[in-house]
């Protein structure tokens, strides 16, 4: 996700063209080595074991290495040594820019410093960003230090990257009391916490979630497309509820609700976390221990 | 080949499940959008196997399981869950659910679960 976030800044600030960014990202994909691949190449896992772990990742919000340890295929020490063999995302991005003679290392460093100033990030925030770790990245984009918000947003973006679009990225989240949206899919979690979770779109932007999830084309964001978005939210919330249950926090999911025409969302603490999928921003909406009222526009 | 009734409030989920089951040679005799409709359609079409989503409006999957088991102890019932619904899964086992499949569907897993129940 670092590439998309920092790459977008480089494009917006005129240092890189969209085409160059795409070229850099595509080139990186060729050299990025997955943990499973390294483990199989080093004969630490069989291909069948690696496939099994990849499969489990579709239903468990865990990293490849964590599942390998859980299954008893690898120990933590081996996973740590494999992780070291994967290139750091920032270095990989820099290396590709330099190899393609698009920017020098000094220019990249200066751009990163300018980006830090623009966003008001601390050095620690920047360490989190260049780490490439999704959870650390999500935390620096959230407006408040809430463990539940961070946990849910982390699961959401990891699931988006895994199932919806591997080039998705986030921008800075913000808090509102009111928000008007063109369409909205939402699910409530009830139990030890009351949590509202949804995706809100402008025009047809939610198709970027609905179509890849349902593996189907929709003409517009109608109730069927929103149903697909709702099912995706259901999967995210299921993973979230599963993680919470480990800490003896229990929440259960209510059936999703859909709104296919403009609505106003109102509440005391609505967190809006923009996720860019396929160049279009979609708002991930959440409210923890506070309610969201949904009112059709015109009422 | 089995006659299957799919009960799920999500059109997307019903469609995904229908594709997987039909690709494995089963016949979808009907679909229902909530537990109440599911129980009615169960009585009407007498399927060999029912898939029941747990989270549904009006009558949820747990209640529908209870009602269907009151009519039949033979029909195979597969509960459809999201991750993180362990307490409901335990409740379903006590009420007579035969198996579970988790969303998002993994076609191989769905086929394996259904085949194991029908064999």
CB contact under 8 A, A237 and B84: yes
Residues A135 and A255 in one domain: no
CATH code of A270's domain: 3.40.1550.10
Q: How far is B82 from chain A (nearest CA, A)?
A: 5
For residue A213, the chain B residues in CB contact (below 8 A) are 12, 104
In a domain, B89, yes or no: yes
> Who contacts A265 (Cβ-Cβ below 8 Å, separation ≥6)?
A178, A179, A180, A181, A184, A200, A285, A292, A293, A294
Instruction: Kindly report the CATH number assigned to the domain that includes residue B97.
Output: 3.40.50.2300
* CB pair distance less than 8 Å for A237 and B12: no
From first to last of the 119 residues of chain B, give the pLDDT tens digit. 889 999 999 999 999 999 999 999 999 999 999 999 999 999 999 999 999 999 898 999 999 999 999 999 999 999 998 876 777 888 899 999 999 998 888 888 888 899 899 88
Distance from CA of A13 to the nearest CA of B (A): 39
Residue A257: closest CA among chain B residues belongs to which residue?
B57
Pick from A58, A227, A244: CB nearest B10: A227
Name the domain count of chain B: 1
Q: Is the pLDDT of residue A98 over 90?
A: no
Chain A residue with minimal CA distance to B89? A252
- In this structure, are A129 and A181 located in the same domain? no
Last residue of a domain, one of A121, A140, A159: A140
Size of interface A-B (CB pairs under 8 A): 78
Q: Which of residues 73-132 of A touch B (CB under 8 A)?
A: none
Q: Which of B81, B82, B106 sits opposite A237 (nearest CB)?
A: B82
- For residue B56, give the DSSP letter: -
Considering only CB atoms, which chain A residues are within 8 Å of B56? 255
Q: Chain A residues with CB inside 8 Å of B16's CB?
A: 214
> Which residues does chain B have within 8 Å of residue A224's beta carbon, measured at their own beta carbons?
11-12
User: What number of other Cβ atoms are within 10 A of residue A254's Cβ?
Assistant: 15
CB atoms A239 and B104 under 8 Å: no
Question: In terms of domains, do A253 and A177 share one?
Answer: yes
Of A116, A140, A164, which one is at a domain's C-terminal end?
A140
Kindly tell me the burial class for residue A45, based on how many C-beta atoms sit within 10 Å of its own C-beta (0-12, 13-18, 19 or more). buried
List the one residue out of A113, A79, A91, A83 whose CA is nearest residue A28.
Answer: A91
**Mean pLDDT, to the nearest integer, of A1-24?**
91
Number of neighbours of residue A50 by Cβ within 10 angstroms? 21
Q: What is the pLDDT of residue B87?
A: 79
Please give the average per-residue pLDDT across A192-217, as a whole number: 94
Surface of A (23-82) touching B: CB under 8 A: 55, 58-61
pLDDT at A128 over 80: yes
Output the pLDDT for position B3.
93
One domain for residues A183 and A239: yes
- Residue numbers in B near A255 (CB within 8 A): 9, 55-57
pLDDT score, position A33: 56
- CA angle in degrees (0–180, nearest 5) for A20-A22-A28: 100
B65 lies in a domain? yes
Q: Find the angle CA(A179)-CA(A188)-CA(A159) to the nearest 5 degrees.
A: 85
In a domain, B113, yes or no: no
Q: Token pair 């360490």 is at which residue?
A: A127
Closest CA to A151 of A108, A94, A189, A207: A189
From chain B, pick out residues whose CB is under 8 angstroms from the CB of A239. 83-84
Q: What is the C-alpha separation between A194 and A196, in angstroms, rounded?
A: 7
pLDDT greater than 60 at residue A193: yes
Tell whether A216 is within 8 A of chain B (Cβ): yes
Q: Which residues of A touch B104 (CB under 8 A)?
A: 58-59, 163, 213, 231, 235
Q: If pLDDT is split at 50, 70 and 90, which confidence band does A31 have?
A: low
Residue A53 structural domain = 2-140
Flag if B13 and A230 touch (Cβ within 8 Å). no
Contact A39, A65 (CB under 8 A): no
**B84–A60 CB contact, under 8 Å:** no
> Which tens digits make up the pLDDT trace of A276-290?
998 889 999 999 988
Does B25 fall in a domain? yes
DSSP state of B106: -
Model-level pTM? 0.81
> Where in the sequence is the domain holding B44, given as residue range(s)?
3-108
pLDDT at residue B107 in the model: 82
- A104 with A206, same domain? no
Question: A91, A123, A140: which is the final residue of a domain?
Answer: A140
| Chain A: closest CA distance from residue B87 (Å) | 9
Band of residue A99 on the pLDDT scale cut at 50, 70, 90: confident
For residue A295, what pLDDT is reported?
A: 93
A178-191 mean pLDDT: 94
Q: Are residues A72 and A152 in the same domain?
A: no
Helix (H, G, I), strand (E, B) or coil at B79: strand
pLDDT, tens digit, for every residue of A32-75?
556 787 787 777 898 889 888 988 887 777 888 999 999 999 99
Looking at the 3D structure of chain A, how many domains does it have?
2
- In a mutational test of the B interface, the residue from A160, A162, A227, A258 whose CB has the highest number of chain B CBs within 10 Å is A227
B115 inside domain: no
Question: Shortest CB distance from A238 goes to which of B13, B84, B87?
Answer: B84
Nearest CA in chain B to A252: B85
B114's enclosing H/E stretch is helix B107-118
Please compute, for residue A96, the number of CA atoms within 13 A of its CA located in the half-sphere on the CB side. Answer: 23
Rounded Cα distance, A207 and A278, in Å: 10
């Amino acid at each position: 996700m670092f590439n998309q976030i920092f790459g977008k800044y480089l494009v917006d600030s005129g240092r890189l063209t969209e085409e160059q960014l795409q070229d850099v990202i595509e080139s990186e994909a060729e050299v990025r080595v997955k943990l499973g691949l390294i483990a199989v190449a080093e004969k630490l896992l069989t291909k069948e074991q690696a496939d099994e772990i990849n499969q489990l990742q579709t239903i468990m919000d865990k990293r490849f290495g964590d599942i390998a340890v859980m299954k008893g295929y690898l120990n933590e020490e081996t996973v740590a040594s494999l992780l070291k063999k994967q290139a750091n995302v920032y270095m990989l991005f820099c290396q590709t820019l330099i190899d393609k003679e698009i920017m020098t290392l000094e220019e990249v460093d200066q751009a990163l410093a300018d980006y830090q100033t623009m966003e008001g990030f601390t050095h620690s925030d920047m360490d989190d960003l260049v780490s490439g770790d999704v959870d650390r990245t999500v935390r620096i984009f959230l407006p408040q230090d809430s463990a539940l918000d961070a946990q849910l947003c982390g699961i959401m973006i990891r699931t988006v990257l895994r199932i919806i679009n591997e080039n998705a990225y986030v921008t800075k989240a913000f808090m509102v009391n009111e928000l008007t949206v063109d369409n909205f899919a939402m699910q409530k979690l009830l139990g030890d916490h009351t949590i509202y979770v949804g995706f809100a779109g402008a025009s047809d932007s939610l198709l970027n979630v609905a179509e890849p999830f349902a593996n189907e084309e929709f003409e517009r964001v109608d109730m069927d497309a929103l149903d697909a978005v709702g099912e995706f939210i259901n999967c995210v919330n299921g993973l979230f509820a599963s993680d919470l249950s480990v800490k003896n926090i229990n929440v259960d999911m209510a059936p999703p609700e859909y709104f296919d025409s403009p609505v106003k969302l109102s509440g005391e603490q609505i967190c809006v976390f923009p996720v860019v999928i396929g160049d279009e921003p979609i708002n991930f909406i959440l409210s923890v221990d506070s309610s969201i009222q949904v009112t059709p526009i015109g009422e | 080949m089995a006659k299957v009734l799919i009960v799920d409030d999500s059109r997307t989920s019903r469609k995904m499940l229908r594709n997987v089951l039909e690709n494995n040679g089963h016949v979808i005799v009907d679909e229902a959008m909530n537990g109440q409709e599911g129980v009615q359609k169960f009585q009407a079409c007498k399927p060999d196997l029912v898939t029941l989503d747990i989270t549904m409006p009006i009558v949820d999957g747990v209640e529908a399981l209870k009602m269907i088991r009151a009519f039949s102890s033979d029909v195979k019932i597969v509960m459809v869950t999201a991750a993180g619904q362990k307490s409901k899964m335990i409740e379903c086992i006590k009420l007579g659910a035969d198996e579970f499949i988790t969303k998002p569907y993994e076609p191989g897993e769905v086929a394996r679960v259904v085949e194991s129940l029908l064999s």
